[in-house]
Amino acid sequence: MLTSNQPTNVKADRVVLYQISWEQFNQLLENLGNSRAARIAYDQGTLEIMIPLPEHEYYKERISDVIKDAADILELDFECLGSTTWKQEIKQAGVEPDNCFYVQHEPLIRGKLTFDLNQDPPPDLALEIDLTSKSLERFPIYARLGVPEI
């Protein structure tokens, strides 16, 4: 069970919890499962749970299509892994992008269905749609996880 000693910051599409341990973060991911609409970001004890709104999903799909079309035109092999959860305990960081892509490192992950950032490279590109000011800044999370382009 997740508890927080500090008040939560509640907006229409997100909630932020503070003083959440790595173990609680992982328990939440396990309890929520993979079939969910919510996106999660974790940064050194701060957890944000966000529900994407239709406008957000619209732009995510359009920009993802542009990225895929550009890769096809440039004849680049790529792998699109959607909002896969990327996390590393040693960095106390975890994030679910709106979409993510392997391009340069695609040969290294080709055919893989499970990933461990302690062994596998992070995605080459993460897509984040930011229509409103997010409560939890994601760029530092991606930087610590080693994602080169956002």
What is the pLDDT tens value at each position of the chain, 150 positions in all? 443 444 444 445 889 999 999 999 999 999 988 878 889 999 999 999 999 889 989 999 999 999 999 999 999 999 999 999 999 999 999 999 999 999 999 999 999 999 999 999 999 999 999 887 666 899 999 999 999 999
**What confidence score (pLDDT) does residue 7 get?**
41
Count of other CB atoms within 10 angstroms of residue 80: 17
**What confidence score (pLDDT) does residue 135 get?**
64
Q: What distance in Å separates the CA atoms of residue 42 and residue 124, rounded to the nearest whole number?
A: 20
Q: Which amino acid is at 43?
A: D
DSSP string covering 22-68? HHHHHHHHHHH-SS-S-EEEEETTEEEEE---HHHHHHHHHHHHHHH
